[in-house]
Amino acid sequence: MLELQDLSVAYGHRVALQGISLTVGAGEIVTLVGGNGAGKSTTLKTISGLLRPRSGQIVFEGQRIDALAPHQILALGLAHVPEGRLLFKDMSVWEHLELGALRAPEQGAPFEQTLEWVLGLFPILKERRDQKAGTLSGGQQQMLAIARGLMSRPRLLMLDEPSLGLAPIVVDTLADIIVQLNAGGMAVLLVEQRVDLALRISQRAYVLETGRIVMQGASQEVMQDPAIKSAYLGL
């Protein structure tokens, strides 16, 4: 479904990704694991068109997308929920959901049906529909950021640090929703600070260190690796 081939990315003269290759298959949850500065967010930004690769290519459902603009990539069915949520604090919940639907496929489900589906996942947003995003709690803001991405009806959803700064009960709720989305057929590429959580709900994992993939495999196998246990799981 998604394939990165020998991808390299730089910020000026600083190389951030060095020849990484990875795949996400239809119906998979794949996670990127790594410390701060490893290149996880850079990977997602490059896939979604916010950054241009220095070399290599990105293919989504058979089409090369590394030269496309972000809105074109979104329209193809690949949505990115960025780290930090990037909501518009003076816009309402409803306005964010409308914004998210702008690039939804014309031949897909109608807006009202998509809205009903999304609000079924996040019922608190229905109660807060007229509230400004900047006045929501951290957990509600993260739900809104994900809901905005889902309004485009993506086939692959990229999530960057969805649990960052949230209470454990909210994190568990979001994890359940990610699993539910995947069970419904949506592929997910997940970057998550809670490595134990990411490995538990994903099928496969890639480990990034200083812009290189140093390990990959089934998530349960990666979780049992002594180096991963020591570095990320505190074991």
Domain with residue 107: its CATH number is: 3.40.50.300
Residue 137 lies in a domain: yes
Over range 128-145, report the average pLDDT.
Answer: 92
| Beta strands across the sheet bearing 55-60 | 14-24, 2-11, 55-60, 63-64
Q: Region of 13 please: left (phi>0), alpha (psi -120 to 50) or beta.
A: alpha
Amino acid present at 185 = G
Residue 99 lies in a domain: yes
Q: Output the pLDDT for position 111.
A: 82
Q: What is the mean pLDDT of the chain?
A: 91
Domains identified in the chain, total number:
1
Q: Output the pLDDT for position 235.
A: 47
pLDDT in tens, 18-39: 999 999 999 999 999 988 888 9
Q: Which domain holds residue 179?
A: 28-51+68-204+220-232
Provide the pLDDT confidence category of residue 234 given band limits of 50, 70 and 90: low
Q: Output the pLDDT for position 123.
A: 93
Poorest-pLDDT segment among 32-46, 94-108, 159-173, 191-205: 94-108
Q: Output the pLDDT for position 108.
A: 66
